[in-house]
């Protein structure tokens, strides 16, 4: 069935972080060719920030140079140009490195995306719906969307652009500390660290980007208590190369079919790069740039093997911390008050007014005790809880409209980003944009790849609408 008013097709986007905002922006730019009503459902006040850029903490910086951050996939310098137009490059003196690279505050990038969307919101090409989506049901060829404010809308096309789930605390820890005022189960929540005092001893569970942000935030406030950061393998997010390097390595001319071969080829490329005084960073950059094609060549079983065994090693090399954050953490590890351990939580109890945590060491036998005042969970997304993380996703799964991808990273979709239903069929008017499509595309966490994917999803939506419009015209004739 085609809409009664085919000149004004409704596209509903659920999630207004960077992915959802970028899809809306790309769609709105093509609105003259294909008139659309574009609704972005996002409870936050501002579109484009999401979890990543909705922060006021100046220590939280984008973790890649600004020249690789752009809403417009065709204009690499758009963000830098905007920063300079706003005078933010001179206001934030710490953003500029001696080699010319710029690592701005994450809040500045969120403001940039919002600014680019502002004219589209002002003239009605994009509508910001500040209400949570609570349920979605199939409705006569479209989707009926109900919102938390009691309103509803029918959409001809829907794009799911929500983020991955929040971290999941170890069960024993959560059960004991659930009501503790300084147990931070979700560090992405507003003012999550507000209850932690400068002299508190803190345990950070997780040593990736989120853990680094937490440590940097505490250190910037003059934290004097001991900070213990743990991860099972003792891996910490690495920093950037000390200078600009071009990507180094070819992983496509000889297709890679297994995790073992991929690991060997990356190691060989690193050894070869070293002969030319090029660091491992350039090799990982090349693998990232070719990542979606590498992923496409791998069988599902090998993708699972990578997620299960190699992802922690990939993540700490791929998702690097900004140099400003790296310098602060390295100084704290060297001079105090911070330590980093390869360990996991084996037991937890109260010890007077402290939380006593037994940490099982990973690289040597034994257990160490830490008496702390605060515990912060920074273990990364709980991918297994994707469907239960939001009510509307739970409902779509129960109705057979969506299902988890076989790799366990998000929602299953095809190479056109159309979501797969319980019967294994792609749905022509239901798309996914951003990190929840990682199972199909692999490299979809870095902003350059997310920006390109958002553009591609917008093109797929437009192609579907154009096909519907043609069908409608034929019916009318």
Give every CB contact of residue 347 below 8 A, 6+ residues apart in sequence.
172, 357, 358
User: Same domain for 394 and 356?
Assistant: no
Q: Is residue 75 part of a domain?
A: yes
- At 56 the pLDDT is 79
- At 32 the pLDDT is 64
Helices and strands in the chain: count of H runs, count of E runs: 16, 16
User: Same domain for 43 and 143?
Assistant: yes
Is the pLDDT at 298 greater than 80? The verdict is: yes
Q: Are 395 and 137 in contact (CB under 8 A)?
A: yes
Q: How confident is the model at residue 33 (pLDDT cuts 50, 70, 90)?
A: low
Maximum Cα–Cα distance across the chain: 81
- At 472 the pLDDT is 53
CA-based nearest residue to 340, from 329, 349, 325: 329
Is the pLDDT at 477 greater than 70? The verdict is: no
Query: Which residue range forms the structural domain that includes residue 58?
Result: 9-165+383-476
Is the pLDDT at 383 greater than 80? The verdict is: no
Q: Is residue 425 part of a domain?
A: yes
Backbone angles phi, psi at 49, to 5 degrees: -85, -55
Q: How confident is the model at residue 1 (pLDDT cuts 50, 70, 90)?
A: very low
Q: Is residue 243 part of a domain?
A: no
- At 17 the pLDDT is 93
Q: Is residue 252 part of a domain?
A: no
By CB atoms closer than 10 A (0-12, 13-18, 19+), residue 175 is: exposed
DSSP-H helix ranges across 280-381: 280-289, 291-297, 300-305, 311-318, 323-335
User: Same domain for 185 and 327?
Assistant: yes
- Tokens (6 digits) for 206: 């997780």
User: Same domain for 185 and 157?
Assistant: no
Q: Is residue 246 part of a domain?
A: no
User: Same domain for 332 and 297?
Assistant: no
Q: Are 235 and 89 in contact (CB under 8 A)?
A: no
Helix or strand holding residue 126 (H, E): strand 126-129
pLDDT tens-digit profile of 99-151? 888 899 999 999 999 999 999 999 999 999 999 999 999 988 899 999 999 99
Q: Is residue 253 part of a domain?
A: no
User: Same domain for 23 and 160?
Assistant: yes
Q: What average pLDDT score do residues 377-385 get? A: 80
- Specify the DSSP class assigned to residue 66: G
Q: C-alpha angle 30/436/321, rounded to 5°?
A: 100
Q: What average pLDDT score do residues 221-240 get? A: 93
pLDDT tens-digit profile of 161-206? 998 877 777 777 888 898 899 999 888 888 889 999 999 999 999 9
Q: In the chain, helix, strand, coil percent, each to 5?
A: 40, 20, 40
Cα-based distances in Å from 356 to 246, 359, 368: 47, 10, 10
- At 380 the pLDDT is 76
Q: Is residue 2 part of a domain?
A: no
Most confident of the following: 94-98, 172-176, 199-203, 383-387: 199-203
Residues 146, 424: Cα–Cα separation, whole Å: 26
- The domain boundary, picked from 293, 318, 343, lies at 318
Is the pLDDT at 5 greater than 50? The verdict is: no
Q: Any idea which of 129-133, 272-276, 294-298, 442-446 has the lowest mean pLDDT?
A: 442-446
Classify residue 48 as left (phi > 0), alpha (psi -120 to 50) or beta: left
CA-based nearest residue to 149, from 160, 133, 128: 133
Q: Any idea which of 207-211, 304-308, 378-382, 442-446 has the lowest mean pLDDT?
A: 442-446
Helix or strand holding residue 177 (H, E): helix 171-177
User: Same domain for 360 and 227?
Assistant: yes
**Structure pTM?**
0.90
- At 148 the pLDDT is 95
Cα-based distances in Å from 228 to 214, 215, 231, 234: 12, 9, 10, 12
- At 446 the pLDDT is 73
Residues 364, 156: Cα–Cα separation, whole Å: 58
- At 473 the pLDDT is 47
Is the pLDDT at 355 greater than 60? The verdict is: yes
Is the pLDDT at 240 greater than 50? The verdict is: yes
Q: Is residue 151 part of a domain?
A: yes
User: Same domain for 224 and 343?
Assistant: yes
User: Same domain for 44 and 74?
Assistant: yes
- At 336 the pLDDT is 85
Q: C-alpha angle 299/301/306, rounded to 5°?
A: 95
Q: How confident is the model at residue 25 (pLDDT cuts 50, 70, 90)?
A: very high
Provide the pairing of β-strand 152-155 with 142-147. antiparallel
- The domain boundary, picked from 318, 350, 369, lies at 318
Half-sphere exposure (Cβ direction) of 260: Cα atoms closer than 13 Å: 1
Q: Which CATH number covers residue 461?
A: 3.50.50.60
User: Same domain for 402 and 460?
Assistant: yes
Q: How confident is the model at residue 63 (pLDDT cuts 50, 70, 90)?
A: confident
Q: Determine what percent of the chain is predicted with pLDDT higher than 90.
A: 65
CA-based nearest residue to 284, from 234, 231, 232, 320: 320
Work out how many domains the chain is built from and give that number.
3
């Amino acid at each position: 069935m085609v809409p009664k008013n085919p000149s004004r097709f409704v596209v509903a986007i659920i999630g207004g972080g960077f992915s959802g905002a970028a899809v809306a922006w790309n769609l709105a730019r093509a609105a003259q060719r294909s008139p659309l009503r574009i609704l972005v459902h996002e409870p936050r006040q501002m579109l484009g920030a999401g979890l990543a850029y909705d922060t006021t903490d100046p220590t939280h910086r984008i973790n890649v140079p600004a020249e690789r951050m752009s809403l417009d996939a065709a204009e690499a310098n758009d963000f830098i140009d905007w920063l300079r137009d706003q005078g933010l490059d001179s206001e934030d003196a710490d953003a500029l490195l001696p080699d010319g690279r710029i690592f701005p505050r994450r809040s500045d990038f969120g403001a940039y995306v919002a600014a680019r969307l502002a004219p589209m919101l002002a003239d009605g090409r994009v509508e910001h719906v500040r209400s949570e989506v609570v349920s979605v049901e199939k409705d006569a060829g479209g989707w009926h969307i109900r919102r938390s404010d009691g309103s509803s809308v029918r959409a001809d096309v829907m794009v799911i652009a929500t983020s991955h789930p929040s971290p999941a605390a170890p069960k024993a820890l959560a059960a004991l500390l659930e009501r503790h005022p300084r147990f931070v189960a979700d560090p992405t929540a507003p003012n999550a660290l507000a209850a932690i005092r400068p002299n508190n001893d803190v345990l950070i569970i997780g040593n990736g980007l989120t853990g680094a942000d937490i440590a940097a935030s505490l250190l910037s406030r003059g934290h004097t208590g001991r900070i213990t950061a743990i991860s099972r393998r003792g891996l910490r997010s690495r920093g950037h190369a000390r200078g600009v390097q071009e990507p180094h390595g070819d992983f496509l001319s000889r297709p890679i079919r297994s995790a073992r071969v991929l690991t060997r080829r990356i190691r060989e490329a690193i050894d070869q790069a070293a002969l030319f005084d090029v660091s491992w960073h350039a090799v990982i950059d090349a693998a990232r740039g070719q990542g979606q094609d590498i992923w496409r060549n791998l069988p599902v079983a090998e993708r699972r093997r990578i997620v299960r065994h190699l992802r922690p090693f990939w993540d700490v090399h791929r998702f690097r911390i900004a140099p400003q954050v790296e310098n602060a953490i390295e100084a704290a590890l060297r001079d105090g008050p911070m330590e980093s351990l390869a360990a996991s939580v084996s037991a937890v109890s109260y010890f007077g007014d402290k939380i006593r945590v037994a940490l099982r060491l990973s690289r040597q036998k034994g257990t160490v005790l830490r008496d702390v005042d605060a515990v912060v969970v920074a273990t990364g997304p709980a991918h297994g809880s994707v469907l239960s993380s939001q009510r509307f996703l739970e409902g779509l799964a129960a109705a057979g409209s969506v299902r988890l991808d076989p790799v366990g990273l998000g929602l299953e979709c095809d190479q056109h980003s159309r979501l797969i239903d319980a019967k294994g069929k792609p749905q022509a008017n239901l798309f996914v944009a951003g990190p929840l499509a990682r199972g199909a595309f692999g490299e979809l966490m870095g902003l350059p790849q997310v920006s390109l994917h958002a553009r591609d999803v917008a093109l797929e939506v437009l192609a579907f609408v154009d096909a519907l419009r043609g069908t409608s015209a034929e019916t009318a004739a």
